[in-house]
Amino acid sequence: MAGKAFPPLPERLPVDVFDSHCHLDLVEVPVSEQLASAKAVGITRVVTIGVDLPTSRLGTELAEEFDAVYAAVAMHPNDTTGITDAVLDDIADLAALPKVRAVGETGLDYYRDWAPKADQHRSFRGHIDIAKRTGKALVIHDREAHDDVLRVLAEEGAPDRVVFHCFSGDAGMARVCADRGYVMSFAGNVTFKNAQPLRDALEVAPLDQILVETDAPFLAPVPNRGKPNASYLIPHTLRLMAEVKQVDLADLCTAIAATGERTFGPW
Ligand SMILES: [Zn+2]
Ligand SMILES: [Zn+2]
């Protein structure tokens, strides 16, 4: 990742882990180079996330080309204005592919209300249905919409495997997710100075319901906040998470690897 304003490689992890949520196509480095840097620090797999039909298709192509890549397909809530059944049918077709391991990112975004709430809800319910029909995990984007996301999941009946990507709830919400068997995926913002409520949520999240992600190219963790992000920077996030959970880094990595395989596997 040299010469691209990217930070240096962090120390290698003691146990291999994976990146549960990244956008390989948005990182301005060839995918092969992103994967090589990630592997060098112990990130041996990544789930690349679709946000519309073209990026969902691209994700499935990358998953075909690279062993280490798995795909998730969906229409991002910000891109659901006027969503039709035909689009949902296309997502369902992609979701059925063997290296597509999740339907997402879908959900509700009340922070960036680019799409009308009615369309976001229709899309979210449609994606929940696709996840259940195809037996894939559901990857949720929840931005300032906690109550409605939890309510819609309960109304529709959640799929067996649900992941809250870039978990942004507080300790109370983490307890609700824990009780319902949902998995909470923490991103680089858990390392930010002002993110104590997120660290409080991480503290109460059960060790076997936690994942880690970059959401690359966004949300680079401290000490590289504000720089471009990529999967190889996950060790910074994991080291902070191990401190918060008061567990050995190796134990945290082992737990996350197992939860990852349970959620997106078998690899
Ligand atoms: Zn998101
Ligand atoms: Zn994302």
The CA 108 to ligand 2 mean position distance, Å, reads: 13
Domain at 80, CATH number: 3.20.20.140
Strand partners, 22: 48
Summarised one tens digit per residue, pLDDT across range 66-112 is 999 999 999 999 999 999 999 999 999 999 999 999 999 999 999 99
Task: Let me know if residue 8 belongs to a domain.
Answer: no
Ligand 1 centroid distance, CA of 141 (Å): 4
Residue 3 placed within a domain: no
At residue 2 the predicted structure's pLDDT band, cuts being 50, 70 and 90, is low
Q: Is residue 106 part of a domain?
A: yes
Taking the centre of ligand 2 as the mean of its atom positions, its distance from the CA of residue 165, in whole angstroms, is 8
The answer as to whether 23 is a domain residue is yes
pLDDT, average across residues 235-243: 98
pLDDT in tens, 138-165: 999 999 999 999 999 999 999 999 999 9
Q: Which ligand is nearest to the CA of 22?
A: 2
Q: Separation of 180 CA from ligand 2 center, angstroms?
A: 23
Dist. CA 50 → ligand 2 center (Å): 8
Return the minimum-mean-pLDDT range out of 92-96, 188-192, 224-228, 259-263: 224-228
**Least distant ligand from the CA of 51:** 2
Instruction: Give the pLDDT mean for 182-205.
Output: 98
Mean pLDDT of the chain: 97
Task: Say how far apart CA 160 and CA 72 lie, in whole Å.
Answer: 16
User: Ligand 1 centroid vs 167 CA: distance in angstroms?
Assistant: 9
pLDDT of residue 185: 98
Check residue 3 and give its pLDDT.
53
Question: Nearest bound ligand to CA 142?
Answer: 1
* pLDDT tens per residue across span 100-144: 999 999 999 999 989 999 999 999 999 999 999 999 999 999 999
**Is residue 163 situated within a structural domain?**
yes
- Per-residue pLDDT, averaged over 38-56, amounts to 98
User: Which ligand minimizes its atom distance to the CA of 72?
Assistant: 2
Q: Which domain holds residue 48?
A: 17-264
Instruction: Quote the ligand 2 centre to 25 CA distance (angstroms).
Output: 11
Question: What distance in angstroms lies between residue 129's CA and the mean position of ligand 1's atoms?
Answer: 19
The alpha carbon of 211 and the centre of ligand 1 are apart by a number of angstroms equal to 15
Confidence (pTM): 0.97
Average pLDDT, stretch 10-20? 98
Confidence band, pLDDT 50/70/90 cuts, at residue 1: confident
The rounded Å distance from CA 233 to ligand 2 centre is 16
165 CA distance to ligand 1 centroid (A)? 7
Q: How far is the CA of 154 from the centre of ligand 1 (A)?
A: 21
State how many domains the chain has: 1
In a domain, 9, yes or no: no
* Ligand showing the shortest atom-to-Cα distance for residue 213: 2
Please give the distance, rounded to the nearest whole angstrom, from the Cα atom of residue 97 to the centre of ligand 2.
20
Q: What value does the mean pLDDT take over residues 167-175?
A: 98
**Distance of CA 93 from the midpoint of ligand 1 (Å):** 22
